[in-house]
């Protein structure tokens, strides 16, 4: 079902040759050998373990590759600094992960850079690389610059098929936000990353922890929507022991299609947080971080360049791994409060219970996307899926947390499931070069489906090209299979 292609203004980085990138190590193992895993980034290969099927034990996989290029001196220094930090904080193997709500979710930290793509040129005019690229998912962008006299200050609103270019540029800035955690009634400060449109033609590439994204320009100037228009908002929740910048490549695709993306760093559960013990209430705290991010954007001061420029009334929430469970919770999957109380053991306080009791579904969240997550059946029982009021998209890889378990558990929900053949746990964030699915292809799969889902359910587009992607009548990739739950039909 091809869509009429409309040429869109492209805010791309200067032309380059084929990308030459480093692929970092996987930190998703649960063996506590973080020294070896960080050393992998500087030296070579690593024996790693991955979550396989939901609820099953971690299974050892084959050796995964570390960087393709010889690591730079800066990379080695960064690894040395990270190892020094770990030594100062204590052995991560002995840390208390608190509530490991997403099965292995609290141990899924992954650290390859947002630019971790294979050494290939990016084909900007198709949804996926290769012979099976689908024209219907290419350049179907409605550009207000075509008709808007104030085009230089406008964001191209795309209500058609996603316009995906993995080298497209976005601005990114980091600022602190502080809020009071409901139930705990304690102040909490987290970093908030924001990706936004910019007209800057060059800039300093952002570095997330120690991993760069040359196409995310740090503190670039903001190109706001024109007139009274406001950009749609995506809020991203990273995985356990992860980092907000994991989603940078996909975030830039949302920006390319007219969105603003924010991602809180879940303080205490980020990559540098070696040795930090998490409270029993941390699953609830993570959800409050996302709601606080929405509040923060809604209440930006008048002198902020995005003040009043972002629509917080209809929000898409997306998360990876432990953060994917967060997306379900924010979408309305209720906590089993009896189960929460029953599991309250050593170190659990009345305030921890109060935090779970204080959480309520926020009507501003109108859709959710979970990326290769698992779900804690003790906190989130199956019967709760029937109560989820918003449409959900779940993407998983057959070599990661294969999503059949969630698809079956969530049969009563309005769920669309995309399974990527050969996809690994990190395939949808660009944090590891999966040996069984090229990273460029998996990133395009993630971007096309996620942007289309947001376009349909947040922007309420009825464009046939968007509908065709989400009902499976368009093949986005030969590696992707789409299914819809009975509750979505």
Q: Three-state SS across 273-294?
A: CCCCCCCCCHHHHHHHHHHHHH
- Same domain? 78 vs 176: no
In a domain, 26, yes or no: no
pLDDT in tens, 1-59: 433 333 333 344 433 333 222 323 333 333 333 333 344 443 333 333 332 333 333 33
- Same domain? 148 vs 190: yes
Pick out the chain residues at pLDDT < 50. 1-153
pLDDT of residue 101: 36
pLDDT in tens, 169-178: 999 999 999 9
In a domain, 283, yes or no: yes
In a domain, 380, yes or no: yes
Q: Is the dihedral of CA 438, 166, 2, 318 positive or negative?
A: positive
Contact yes or no for 247/220 (Cβ under 8 A): no
End position of a domain, from candidates 56, 88, 107:
107
pLDDT of residue 224: 83
Q: What torsion do the CA atoms of 171, 172, 177, 181 make, to the nearest 10 degrees?
A: 110
Output DSSP code: residue 12. B
- Same domain? 42 vs 172: no
Angular region, 201: left φ>0, alpha ψ -120 to 50, beta rest: alpha
In a domain, 3, yes or no: no
- Same domain? 49 vs 157: no
- Same domain? 155 vs 102: no
- Same domain? 315 vs 362: yes
Alpha-carbon span 108 to 19, nearest angstrom: 27
Of 357, 330, 335, 332, the closest CA to residue 182 belongs to: 357
In a domain, 271, yes or no: yes
Q: Please count the structural domains in the chain.
A: 2
Of 298, 369, 375, 297, the closest CA to residue 330 belongs to: 369
Burial letters 285-310, b for 16+ CB under 10 A, else e = bbbbbbbbbbebbbebeeeeebeebb
In a domain, 263, yes or no: yes
The Cβ-side half-sphere exposure at 89, using a 13 Å CA radius, reads 21
- Same domain? 75 vs 146: no
What lies within 8 Å, CB to CB, of 338 at 6+ separation is none
Of 401, 485, 378, 311, the closest CA to residue 105 belongs to: 401
pLDDT of residue 446: 98
pLDDT of residue 83: 38
End position of a domain, from candidates 87, 107, 127:
107
Alpha-carbon span 26 to 33, nearest angstrom: 11
- Same domain? 97 vs 244: no
- Same domain? 96 vs 221: no
Q: Is the dihedral of CA 87, 35, 28, 102 positive or negative?
A: negative
Pairing between strand 260-264 and 231-237? parallel
pLDDT of residue 155: 55
In a domain, 236, yes or no: yes
CATH of residue 333: 3.40.50.1820
Instruction: Tell me the CA distances in angstroms from 279 to 163, 190, 263, 370, one per residue in order.
Output: 41, 16, 21, 23
- Same domain? 71 vs 153: no
Q: Which domain holds residue 414?
A: 135-488
In a domain, 480, yes or no: yes
Give first-to-last CA distance, the chain, whole Å: 20
The Cβ-side half-sphere exposure at 84, using a 13 Å CA radius, reads 6
pLDDT in tens, 370-409: 999 989 988 999 999 999 999 999 999 999 987 788 999 9
Contact yes or no for 38/210 (Cβ under 8 A): no
- Same domain? 216 vs 82: no
Of 268, 399, 241, the closest CA to residue 322 belongs to: 241
What lies within 8 Å, CB to CB, of 276 at 6+ separation is 89, 95, 268, 269
Q: Over the Cα atoms of the chain, what is R_g?
A: 21
- Same domain? 383 vs 478: yes
């Amino acid at each position: 079902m091809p869509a009429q292609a409309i040429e869109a203004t492209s805010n791309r980085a200067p032309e380059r040759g084929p990308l030459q990138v480093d692929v970092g190590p996987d930190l998703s193992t649960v063996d506590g050998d973080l020294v070896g895993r960080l050393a992998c980034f500087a030296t070579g290969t690593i024996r790693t373990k991955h979550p396989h099927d939901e609820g099953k034990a971690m299974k050892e996989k084959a050796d995964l590759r570390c960087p393709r290029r010889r690591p730079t001196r800066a990379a080695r220094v960064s690894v040395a600094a990270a190892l020094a930090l770990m030594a100062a904080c204590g052995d991560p193997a002995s840390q208390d992960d608190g509530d490991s709500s997403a099965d292995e979710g609290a141990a899924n930290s992954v650290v390859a850079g947002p630019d971790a793509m294979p050494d290939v040129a990016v084909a900007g005019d198709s949804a996926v690389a290769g012979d099976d690229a689908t024209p219907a998912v290419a350049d179907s962008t409605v550009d207000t610059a075509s008709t808007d006299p104030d085009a230089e200050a406008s964001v191209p609103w795309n209500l058609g098929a996603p316009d995906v270019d993995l080298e497209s540029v976005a601005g990114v800035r980091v600022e602190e936000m502080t809020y009071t955690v409901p139930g705990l009634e304690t102040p909490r400060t987290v970093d908030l990353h924001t990706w936004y449109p910019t007209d800057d033609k060059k800039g300093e590439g952002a570095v997330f922890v120690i991993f760069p994204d040359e196409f995310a320009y740090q503190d670039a100037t903001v190109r706001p929507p024109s007139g009274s228009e406001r950009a749609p908002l995506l809020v991203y929740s990273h995985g356990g022991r992860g980092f907000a910048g994991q989603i940078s490549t996909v975030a830039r695709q949302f920006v390319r299609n007219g969105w603003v993306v924010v991602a809180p760093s879940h303080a205490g559960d980020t990559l540098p947080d070696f040795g930090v013990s998490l409270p029993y209430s941390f699953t609830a705290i993570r959800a409050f971080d996302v709601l606080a991010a929405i509040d923060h954007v809604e209440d930006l001061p008048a002198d902020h360049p995005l003040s009043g420029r972002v629509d917080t009334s209809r929000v898409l929430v997306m998360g990876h791994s432990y953060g994917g469970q967060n997306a379900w919770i924010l979408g309305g999957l209720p906590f089993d409060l009896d189960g929460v109380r029953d599991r309250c053991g050593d170190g659990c306080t009345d305030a921890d219970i109060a935090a779970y009791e204080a959480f309520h579904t926020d009507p501003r969240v109108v859709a959710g996307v979970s990326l290769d997550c698992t779900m804690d059946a003790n906190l989130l029982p199956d019967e709760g899926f029937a109560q989820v009021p918003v449409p959900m998209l779940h993407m998983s890889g057959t070599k990661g947390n294969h999503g059949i378990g969630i698809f079956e558990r969530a049969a009563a929900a309005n769920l669309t499931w995309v399974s990527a053949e050969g996809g690994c746990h990190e395939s949808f964030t660009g944090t590891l070069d999966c040996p069984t699915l090229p990273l460029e292809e998996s990133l395009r799969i993630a971007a096309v489906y996620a942007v289309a889902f947001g376009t349909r359910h947040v922007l309420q587009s009825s464009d046939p090209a968007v509908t065709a992607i989400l009902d499976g009548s368009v093949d986005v990739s030969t590696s992707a299979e789409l299914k819809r739950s009975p509750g979505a039909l």
